[in-house]
Structure 1
Amino acid sequence: MSGKPKVAVIGTGGTISSMGRGPLELIDYGAAGRVLDVHGVLARVPELAEVAEVVPVPFRAIPSTALAWPEWKELLLICDRLAGEHPDLAGIVVTHGTATLEETAYFLSLTLKVALPVVVVGAQRPASALAADGPMNLLNACRVAADPGARGLGALVLLNDEIQAAREVTKTSTLRLQTFRTPDFGCLGHADADAIAWYRRPLRRMAPDTEFDMRGMEALPRVDIAYAYAGADGAAIEAFVAAGAKGIVVAGFAPGYVTPAMSEAMAAAVKQGVAVVTSSRAGSGRAARTTKNAALGFVTADNLTPQKARVLLAPALAHGITDLERVFATY
């Protein structure tokens, strides 16, 4: 026994696991086609042994653009298994590409049924890069997962020494290291060299105390996102309905408005039994619940980004929940 807290690390691939052609290959590193499995990632950070007893859990070695519902369900089941196999487990870390990291993290924060802290971590620079950020991000993620203060916060996101709530964080820059931000409220705390420092707690309902149990589900209902722009008609919404969408999230003009043509198509979708949720494309702030939208049967996403609103709407529809305004006000 090491005497260190035990932390499981599940590797899903992404930039944190990628190897480019050289130390200055910071953007087109995917062209090399080299992605380390979790053992390879951990081997590059021997300092992890100073903060935790790490349990490697192989999963995938792919970009996060290839991760969706099937992998999310597998992650839920793996977390269940780890909690059962390791009663002394302090927490779980999931390495992940940054493209869809926030969506995976929020899904886990809504649907996990284990009380252990789960920290999703990624990197902006590949493992082969000069001054790669992945090793420190991974070490700090393990420290946070093992910290008692991480319990009861749902899934967390750790990059750039900042601890973020899965519900609130979003990727805000393509290349900068400080890309993951919580625009409205700021981070929950910091992973500093001398301590894990906490400053606030999220209030919205989160795992494991949620009404969503996806472990036995075979599929998620189709939910699409339609983007509002000047002159947009209803073609995209009509196409989504024709494709079998059970829900549509609209990324509207701040604070959630759409063009007249889009509104007509949205209203027609509601009449066909499709759940329509209005959000804002601004990336910050609450979508307004107007008298007109309410009369047309549109649901308001609160301050969730369009991609996060989709992640919440799909499990709600899968469980046959109809009071969606309550859901978006609760989670």
Structure 2
Amino acid sequence: MAQLYRRRCSSWVYALVGAIIFAVSSSFALAQTGKAPMHSSLPRVLVLATGGTISGKASERSAISYDAGAVTGEDLIAGVPGIEKLARLKAEQISNIPSQNMNSKVWFRLAERINQVFAHDEADAVVITHGTDTMEETAFFLDKVIKTSHPVILTGAMRPSTAISADGPANMYEAVKVAVDPAAQGRGVMIVLNDTIHAARWVTKTSTTSLETFKSQIAGPIGAVDAASVRFFGPPVSFNHIALPTEQNLPQVRIIYAHADMDAQQIDEAVKAGAAGLVIAGMGDGNVSQEALSGLDRAVKAGVIIVRSARVGEGFVNRNVEVNDDEHGLVVSYDLNPQKARILLQLLLANHVRDKSKIQQDFLARY
């Protein structure tokens, strides 16, 4: 009886010691990673961090100033409670810059890494953390050159991580929530901020400070997300894609902003500087002064591709309305704002497309 009692006590002691060791190990893992152990059945999400306000820290310059790109992707993940219950997360630092410094080198790096991830089955979805200033441009570039059914989501923040009411953690959580939702498949590159899901083609930043800065002026958002659910407002819409240029550089295309009392000086100087294309952020439905239009005629004769867009922020720029585009040899942007029209023209020129009728078709083709 005494031996049986000792064996039972020993078994109980061993079980207790094992439980303590497991608890200590789990606590240590949690302290090291900021997250509880991840379940192997969860979807795999790769977070590609590029910097921006979401990774910013407060500065002493003023009450609202901050330095972007001060926090790593790993830190961002660790600062979002409950995110480990959504997916198995891994972070890679592609860059750590404010998005006003975003450039085509980072775009190519992102595109190549995303293509590699899905080609080698490294993840089920990709979430990119990015500053808001140029987020729509990065999203549009990636949407044009990446052809995959896997979700690619960009997210960021309007307030730095050290702000009293930072919006980054909620945006990060919701971006991952959308990325792992089955209904997100086949929808191209999306932007998720402020409980809203936007398609890359239509979304644009509209406010310098508001949390509701991103809006899809023409088509509206494609969905909404909250702590309980992800809701898409319609079926997936696929857009035409363009090959990622093999030379990993984009030709010079400049945006010229139209205004009252406009002359042709900027147009002529851009041509002299070697611009392969110009995008006009025109007044109204893409208009410029008569003097500027004469400058565009000279640019066309010099072999420069001209795209008329609009500075007003909403609406279509159609052909042959107030300007005879056929007569002047111009391309119109339709629903693309100047910054996205620039990227599309760069990609087409980088792929050696110079026929204006083909370029115009690419600006119109959406499905």
Q: What is the distance in 1 between the residues matched to 2:74 and 2:66?
A: 20
Structure 1, 44-53 or 166-175: larger mean CA deviation: 44-53
Q: What is the distance in 2 between the residues matched to 1:299 and 1:213?
A: 22
Corresponding residue number in structure 2 for 1:138:
172
TM-score (norm 2): 0.84
2:265 to 212, 235, 245: 235
Q: What is the distance in 2 between the residues matched to 1:34 and 1:174?
A: 18
Are 1:158 and 2:188 an aligned pair?
A: no
Q: What is the distance in 1 between the residues matched to 2:52 and 2:278?
A: 28
Alpha-carbon displacement from aligned partner over 1:263-313 (angstroms, at most 9, x marks no partner): 011111111111000011111110131161221001010011100100111
Corresponding residue number in structure 2 for 1:211:
242
Q: CA RMSD in A?
A: 1.8
Corresponding residue number in structure 2 for 1:43:
78
Corresponding residue number in structure 2 for 1:200:
234
Structure whose alpha-carbon radius of gyration is higher: 2
Are 1:11 and 2:11 an aligned pair?
A: no
The amino acid that maps onto 2:242 is E
Corresponding residue number in structure 1 for 2:110:
75
Partner SS for 2:124: strand
Asked whether the equivalents of residues 165 and 202 of structure 1 are also in contact (C-alpha less than 8 Å), the reply is no
Structure-to-structure mapping, 1:76-225, within 5 angstroms: 76-87=111-122, 89-201=123-235, 203=237, 205-206=239-240, 210-214=241-245, 216-225=246-255
1:28 to 58, 65, 68: 65
Corresponding residue number in structure 1 for 2:304:
274
The amino acid that maps onto 2:64 is I
Asked whether the equivalents of residues 5 and 52 of structure 1 are also in contact (C-alpha less than 8 Å), the reply is yes
Cα 1:192–1:64 change in 2 (3 A) is same
The amino acid that maps onto 2:43 is P
Q: What is the distance in 2 between the residues matched to 1:241 and 1:229?
A: 19
Cα 1:204–1:325 change in 2 (3 A) is farther
Q: Taking every aligned residue pair, what percent have the same amino acid on both sides? A: 37
Cα 1:204–1:238 change in 2 (3 A) is farther
Q: What is the distance in 1 between the residues matched to 2:235 and 2:264?
A: 40
Partner SS for 1:230: coil
Cα 1:198–1:25 change in 2 (3 A) is farther
Q: What is the distance in 1 between the residues matched to 2:64 and 2:95?
A: 21
CA shift, 1:231, in A, is 0.6
Q: With CA pairs under 8 Å and 6+ residues apart, which has the higher RCO, 1 or 2?
A: 1
Alpha-carbon displacement from aligned partner over 1:113-142 (angstroms, at most 9, x marks no partner): 443210011100001111110001011101
Cα 1:201–1:258 change in 2 (3 A) is farther
Corresponding residue number in structure 2 for 1:320:
352
Are 1:311 and 2:353 an aligned pair?
A: no
2:275 to 229, 245, 251: 245
The amino acid that maps onto 1:29 is Y
Cα 1:202–1:169 change in 2 (3 A) is farther
Name segments (4+ residues, structure 1) moved above 6 Å: none
